[in-house]
Chain A
Amino acid sequence: MEFVFNALQGGVASLAAYLAAHVLLCLVPAFFIAGALSALVPQQSIIRFLGPAAPKGVSYAAAAGAGSLLAVCSCTIQPLFAGIYRKGAGLGPAITFLFFAPAANVLALSYTGVALGAEFAIARIVLALAFGVGIGMIMAVLFRDSSPTPAAPDAVFAGGDGIPRHVLHFLGTLLALLLAGTLQLDSLATVVWQGEWRWSLAPLMQATLDRWVPINEAIGAEGLSLQGTVLIGLLALIGGSAWRGLGQADRGCNQLTWVTLALVGLTLVFAASGVRVTGSGLTLSLNARSLVVCLLCLLLLPQARRFEAWEMQQWLWESWRFVKQIFPLLVVGVFLVGVIRVFIQPQWIQAVAGSNTVLANLAGVTFGVFMYFPTLVEVPIARMFLSLGMHPGPLIAYLMSDPELSLQSILITSAIIGRLRAWTYVGLVAVFSTLAGLSFGAWTDGTPLGLLALLLLSFIAALVTILRRIDRRQHPGVPPC
């Protein structure tokens, strides 16, 4: 009985900590950014650089750009991938796009940054970009003669303007909101105003919360604060009002739309502020972070007027659609991670992946390839591994391979580019994820960045030389691309 109770308590604790600490300042703005990218950025602005005639350098860069800006939704990934491969810049950029998209979207990055630390988010995007382009180029060389001959230039790639300035400003403000809420800067924590209330119930409530959701640093359980409880309540309120307020926003804004938006703003400001329970009451402190968040929320209002009403409605509808699509699975995932956490002994993880060895990195990759988790759930799982003592290197190896490769994505890919190419891609991702883990692990262990860059560059140079030699043997007389 106590066994079951412990497991359930682990799940609840993980969920509570997640909702109160990680979701708010990071995922709430991130969902709105994802909605804005999907609804407001004209896709033509990037697609026009992906045509068959585009120079190599431009098309790889545009493929990475498409991966992070356009591919927020899985229904965009598949047609874009097929389109780039068959009609556009070819296999290489298509692969770069496919590899970069799941690692570089705003939801995954911001969540990784908050839950695991900024260095993991930076490593994820830098390594995914470098290896995405690398794998794309290798695939392009390997399958040079079997690529589909580019058809007559398709009208899709002609014309199209850049991203309009008011959209860029709007996205910039949303991004600033995300950063202001999540960056760990001392200047943002400066207290500007502080108030104390005597409220004898507060310490009692905190004591109760501590009993229900105990703090245990040894297993990474953060406990639940009074502020966190209020925030979870506010989140539930937002969810309730957004159901109609945002879910039906595409039929015109209703009263609930405004209620939802006001609640979101209030919640963000409250989450940025500090509430501390003292022996006899509460201390509320407004810091620079709360002011900046509040200011940015207000700044969005005049900017929104520069859009057509239909565009704003689309934005809200899309943001809510992402929440509905991703959030429930994430909640279930986080709960289950908390339950499983109770049963895993740190010694097991440390024995397999406690240090930065090739074998440990391979273990991380293997786990990533064979496990399939819904979007974003890879992050709480990685967090669990980290708290159990996994070395950061194998952790990055796992984070690189898990969202890129799942049975489902392998099947879709092989339907479009063929089985041989798809499995070659899988093999390359496994190799490069291991490499990514090894280099990140070496960096955290103290190897200087310059030496690592040198080693990586020489490895890639060697690889390219070998590929070119193979290429030349198969196509004598043809200059390598």
Chain B
Amino acid sequence: MLIKILGSGCAKCERLEQLTREVVAERGLTATFEHVREMDRIMAYPVMTTPALVVDEVVKVSGRLPSKAELAGWLQG
């Protein structure tokens, strides 16, 4: 599973990566992480606001921090 965090380095973006990593570790999933910081590459996805979470090239959430339960739903589904 390829997980991308889109965000230009704001506090919320870092927090999203941290939360996602925690969920991956807790559920024993295997995933590769990538933190996309370039505005051009971020804009290539259908998002207008950061932070955004992209799982296997599908945007799951943007502009807010999801709860861990929500994250687990996307990552295991």
A contacts, CB < 8 Å to B: 39, 42-44, 47, 50, 70, 73-76, 78-80, 82-84, 86-88, 154-156, 250, 308, 310, 314, 321, 325, 415-416
Q: Return chain B residues, CB-CB under 8 Å to A321.
A: 11
With A43-B64, A73-B10: A78-B49 Cβ-Cβ less than 8 Å: no
Q: Is the CB of B49 within 8 A of A43?
A: yes
Residues of B contacting A88 with CB < 8 Å? 48
Contacts of A75 in B (CB 8 A): 7-13, 50
Complex interface: chain B residues within 8 A of A80 (CB):
48-49
Does B46 sit within 8 A of A, measured CB to CB? yes
- Are the C-beta atoms of B8 and A47 separated by less than 8 Å? no
Q: What would 12 more interface pairs be, CB under 8 Å, given A79-B48, A156-B48?
A: A39-B64, A39-B65, A47-B48, A50-B48, A70-B49, A74-B10, A78-B39, A79-B8, A80-B48, A82-B39, A87-B43, A156-B46
**Can you list, as one digit per residue, whether each of B24-65 has a CB less than 8 Å from chain A (1) or not (0)?**
000000000000000100110011111000000000001111
CB distance from A320 to the nearest CB of B (A): 11
How far is A154 from B48 in the complex, measured between Cα atoms in Å? 10
Contact sample, A vs B, 21 pairs, CB 8 Å cutoff: A43-B49, A70-B49, A75-B7, A75-B9, A75-B11, A76-B49, A76-B63, A78-B8, A79-B42, A79-B47, A79-B48, A79-B49, A82-B39, A83-B49, A84-B48, A86-B43, A87-B48, A156-B47, A250-B15, A314-B64, A415-B39
Q: Does B67 contact A (CB under 8 A)?
A: yes
* Contact with A83, one of B11, B12, B47, B65 (Cβ below 8 angstroms): B47
The 6 A-B pairs at the shortest CB distance, nearest first, are namely A75-B10, A83-B48, A43-B63, A310-B67, A155-B46, A156-B46
CB atoms of B46 and A154 under 8 A apart: yes
Roughly how many angstroms separate A70 CA and B50 CA in the complex, as a whole number? 12
Q: Which residues of A contact B8 (CB under 8 A)?
A: 75, 78-79
Closest to A39 in B: B64
Complex alpha-carbon distance, A173 and B41, angstroms: 40
When distances are taken between beta carbons in the complex, the residues of chain A under 8 Å from B7 are: 75
Bound complex: CA A42 to CA B49 (Å): 11
CB distance from A80 to the nearest CB of B (A): 6
Q: Bound complex: CA of A84 vs CA of B48, how far in Å?
A: 8
Q: Which residue of B lies closest to A84 (CB)?
A: B48
Chain A interface secondary structure, helix, strand, loop or mixed? helix
Whether the Cβ atoms of A314 and B65 lie closer than 8 Å is: yes
Q: Which chain B residues border A47 with CB–CB below 8 Å? A: 48-49
Question: Separation in Å of the B71 CB from the closest CB of chain A?
Answer: 11
Residue among B7, B49, B50 with most chain A CB within 10 A: B49
Q: Which of A50, A78, A84, A156 has the most CB of B within 10 A?
A: A156
The minimal Cβ–Cβ distance linking B19 to chain A, given in whole angstroms, is 9
Contacts of A415 in B (CB 8 A): 39
Cα separation A201 to B5 with both chains bound (whole Å): 59
Q: Are B63 and A83 in contact (CB under 8 A)?
A: no
0/1 interface trace, chain B 14-26, chain A, CB 8 Å (1 if under): 0100000000000
Task: Tell me the minimal C-beta distance from A380 to chain B in angstroms.
Answer: 25
Give bound CA distance, A74 to B47, whole Å: 17
Closest to A48 in B: B48
Contacts of B12 in A (CB 8 A): 73, 75
* A73 CB, min distance to chain B CBs, angstroms: 7
Nearest residue, chain B, Cβ from A74: B10
Cα distance A50–B64 in the bound complex, in angstroms: 19
Nearest B residue to A412 via CB reads: B39
- What's the minimum C-beta distance from B60 to chain A, rounded to whole angstroms? 13
Bound CA span A9–B31, Å: 57
Alpha-carbon distance A70/B7, docked complex (angstroms):
16
| A415 CA / B65 CA spacing, docked (Å) | 28
Contacts of A42 in B (CB 8 A): 64
**Which A residues are in CB contact (< 8 Å) with B63?**
43-44, 76
Chain B residues near A156 (CB-CB < 8 A): 46-48
* A residues in contact with B49, CB < 8 Å: 43, 47, 70, 76, 79-80, 83
